[in-house]
Amino acid sequence: MSLRLVARWTLASLLLMIALLWLADRIWPLPLPRDDLARVVLAEDGTPLWRFADANGVWRYPVQTAEVSPYYLDALLTYEDRWFYQHPGVNPFALARATWQNLTGARVVSGGSTLSMQVARLLDPHSRTFHGKLRQLWRTAQLEWHLSKAEILNLYLNRAPFGGTLQGVAAASWAYLGKSPAQLTHAEAALLAVLPQAPSRLRPDRHPQRAQEARDKVLRRLGEFQVWPSSAVAEALEEPLLLAPRLEPSLAPLLARRLNRPDSPPLIRTTLDATLQRRLEDLLLGWRARLPEYTSAAILVVEEDSMAVRAYLGSVDINDAKRFGHVDMISALRSPGSTLKPFLYGMALDDGLIHSESLLQDVPRRYGDYRPGNFSMGFTGAVPASTALSSSLNLPAVQLLEAYGPKRFAAQMRIGGVPLALPALAEPNLALILGGAGSRLEDLVSGYSAFARDGRSATIRLQPDDTLKERPLLSPGSAWIVRRILSGQARPDRDPRAELVQRPVLAWKTGTSYGFRDAWAIGVGPRYLIGVWIGRPDGTPVPGQFGLASAAPLMLQVHDVLTNRDSQRGISAPVKPVPANVGVAAICWPLGQPMSRSDPNCRRQRFAWTLDNTTPPTLLALDQPLGVGLMESVWVNPKGLRVDAHCPGAQLKNIALWPAPLEPWLPRAERRDARLPAADPDCPPPALAASSPLSIVGVREGDQLRLPAASQQALRLKISALGGSGRRWWFLNGAPLGDSANQDSINASFEQLGRYQLSVLDEAGQTARIEFSVVD
């Protein structure tokens, strides 16, 4: 046979072999790992918080070669496969050596598998038979064809078994040693390098003596080949086998569930601080005994500058079924109670309705069918805006919302990133400010960020890649003033020229929803926002549970934890400069305007925070006429008696009077009758405006009146009006009913069953209104 023919047959055979190998590679493709939905949720520093195992219960922490300690790579390659980067996947010399050692030793002394062969067995497990070995060699060849050495090594780092349900060096490092694989010492690297040889027999948490002996064997091999200095090897041999408590990642389970989606990457990174998360979870578990049965709690901690979430506790304990621990109360829709009030006061400041010490009315009022009350069930009368907010009084807040507008308020909150949920087809009303809408803890905390971020609210960031989204909610000045009010710095120093406070302390607000269903406390600290919710996730009332008693103590404890952490780390509270348009003014009640303390109309002087050097006058209720209650112009004679304008020596005098609804809460010397000069009988003045609020007597609000027993007779009532001035005009269901002189009564007849509305109007423009029913 000629040489040319031999060459042709050789080439043909080679081509046929290549074709057969190509065909086999297509028929039996390399089973590379697919996404098996195993996930690890990480803190910002890479600490595993929670893991989602695959279908076999195995969890992994994927890493790249560059993320593993060089010590571990040295130990692994030296002990397992010194020629990894030189051989084509199979090391014939190692196979021959292992065969000779096993035959001469009459037992298995060593193996000849390379790292590539071990990866092949991990990807396609097989029996330890001749057929299985051929299968392993075939898979090894496929690995070397399709992947680079770096990719093969990376597969080993993430798929090697380390005992139990652990796969991969990173999962083992965190589980056994409590640290990142990038931080391994020489001894720890040697330990992890040898474990995959016999992961069950050498498992260090169960067989520490065996594991240490195997580790020391690796260390001596490294010293023998002079991979590490002899001093480093000797020191590592002296190091005892120290393991961290074997704990599966079990922090922030509800956040992990929230972020784990089918399209999530194997490593789900968050902004959480693992140390803080663990500290607060321990704190909340300690609080569980204080909480009523079936009650849960939630805590959210956000860094103000970056809006990164540092702690996320959606429930007391995810495993506590009685407390609905599986329900994430950070994202749940609940009634916010009074936590919306600071936003309203800030908007009212921006709108020029009030300054920080504006006179508001904490008095009973009825708005149609809505009759709000205070949590304390009492009323205080005249109250400054700052005290009304810090004391969370309801009536002043409703008065303020009535002036600002419920729809406008809800729209501004939505624009500012704090949407308020209402029932279908419902419109915002005055109940909104007392919790008559739905909100989420995360949205409220985002809204409160405006008080720390110069009036701009920002959405919380759960993951490092989340963008910072800001929206204007308040002006920097109003946000600064409201924050001072909530931090107990409501009034400037009594010297209006005193230096303004620039270093903030904790500002916080509580809230309680109707029926004691939700208790809230939200704090704005020097560096962190803190949100706390306590209640029953199923919405059942918990009598006696309210924000100040339930949620506030927990929030204050969280604040203490954060403050101590910053102190230990040498982090001081940032200085927040005072906005340029914030100033101080000395104002006087009841007018709410700047004036001299010696002015007779300055009944009480207060120092107020102001915006743009403006001091809005006292805000009156919408149903209170502007001409009644603030200033009365009278003519007085030289004796100080009130006279007609045409009387000899008459001079005009303006007298500041308190709003009429405040009369019952004022000292006698401050009431209208005491403030107005007595009339001169020789030259009497004309009648004045109402000296007291107008009210209806003879039938009470909400009465249910029965028709007389004889069905032919109508129900007759004698109804009178007290207070007010001049003539009265009466209306029944909006239709005129007649008029009466001062203090006179009218007689009304009712023949039909149903609901009635009775109202009266006096000459000064005051109105009074009640509703009652006539029944069988």
Give the Cα separation of 71 and 80 in Å (integer).
14
Name the nearest CA neighbour of 387 among 466, 486, 297: 486
Give the Cα separation of 409 and 575 in Å (integer).
31
User: Nearest-5° angle of CA 142, CA 144, CA 145?
Assistant: 65
- Residue 691 a catalytic site member: no
Identity at 399, one-letter amino acid code: Q
- Residue 338 a catalytic site member: yes
SS3 739: strand
**CB-CB contact of 59 with 53 (8 Å):** yes
User: Nearest-5° angle of CA 685, CA 687, CA 693?
Assistant: 140
Length of the chain: 776
> E strands, 263-334, where?
267-269, 296-303, 309-313
Give the Cα separation of 129 and 210 in Å (integer).
28
DSSP structure class, residue 176: I
Residues 6+ positions from 126 with CB-CB distance below 8 Å? 132, 133, 135, 136
Give the Cα separation of 623 and 760 in Å (integer).
13
Name the nearest CA neighbour of 643 among 677, 674, 669: 677
Residue found by looking up tokens 């040693």 in the block:
177
SS3 109: coil
Burial 740-767 (b: 16+ CB within 10 A, else e): beeeeebebebeeeeebebbbbbebbbe
Q: How far apart are the first and last CA of the chain?
A: 127
Identity at 544, one-letter amino acid code: G
How far is the CA of 559 from the CAs of 129, 405, 499, in angstroms?
Answer: 64, 35, 27
Backbone angles phi, psi at 728, to 5 degrees: -120, 145
Q: What is the full DSSP assignment across 742-775?
A: TT-EEEEEE-S-EEEEEEEEETTS-EEEEEEEEE
User: Nearest-5° angle of CA 358, CA 364, CA 368?
Assistant: 110
Catalytic residue among 338, 356, 446, 725: 338
Name the nearest CA neighbour of 745 among 717, 719, 715: 719
Backbone angles phi, psi at 95, to 5 degrees: -65, -45
Read off the tokens for 302.
């956000």
Residues 6+ positions from 732 with CB-CB distance below 8 Å? 748, 756, 757, 758
Q: Helices (H), strands (E): how many in the chain?
A: 20, 28
Report the catalytic residues.
Answer: 80, 338
